[in-house]
Structure 1
Amino acid sequence: MCRHDGNLVSQATVLRLLRDEDLLPEAGCQRERRQLAAHRKAAFTTDPTGPNQVWQLDFSEFETASGGTWRLAECRDHWAKYELGRHV
């Protein structure tokens, strides 16, 4: 935002500001994300061959301009691509 506002700042200053506001991920974050991705991939070693074998859940949260919050949840059969509707 400093550069966007027209202020000249160095990369070290930007890095310090990000650290001060706790906006940088921790050192081991990337390793943990890769391990979680490997576990997810291992769970899908074989594709489902019929309905009701693998279900997907999706949760979303949106803030409205008036200050409210919408929370959406949906459930879907992975094989049939059948969706059970949304709960708001």
Structure 2
Amino acid sequence: MPLRESLLGLAQIGIPRATFYQWCELHASDGPGALEDRPSRPGRVWNRIPDDIRMRIDAPELSPRELAVRFTDEQGYFVSEASVYRLLKAHDLITSPAFIVVKAADTFHTKTTAPNQLWQTDFTYLKVIGWGWMYLSTVLDDFSRYIVSVIPDPRGVDGHEL
């Protein structure tokens, strides 16, 4: 069948000329087996760590960020922190933080029922115009909410007399 008739026939069934020419090149280079159907998925997903690289992560006790930096430095292959985290999580190797966060309660667990049972104190810096920085220490009665003591300290932030 002449080439022109082949192209007209392909156009009638909706196959572009570029596809036909690709088929001709495949057939010429690799034979009829090259024209068999292949999966259309990519050979490698852009954010997937190859298995041989995945098995080289040897210090799961480090944080994902530390592991990613160490791996990139030592192996010369970039692995993102998110990929390391995903990999560690898939193998149940995510460690809990080394510290425990304790949330403050809304109210104190032992309520005061009279003055002088519980005092609160606060230390802060104040900038007094014309004088400079001063420490201010206050003592507050928890029950009455009155300030029991105020102690301004003329020593500045650096600890020297102003």
Q: TM-score, normalised by structure 2?
A: 0.27
- Greater per-residue helix proportion: 2
Tell which structure's C-alpha radius of gyration is larger.
2
- Greater per-residue strand proportion: 1
Q: Which structure is richer in relative contact order (CA contacts within 8 A, separation 6 or more)?
A: 1
Q: TM-score, normalised by structure 1?
A: 0.46
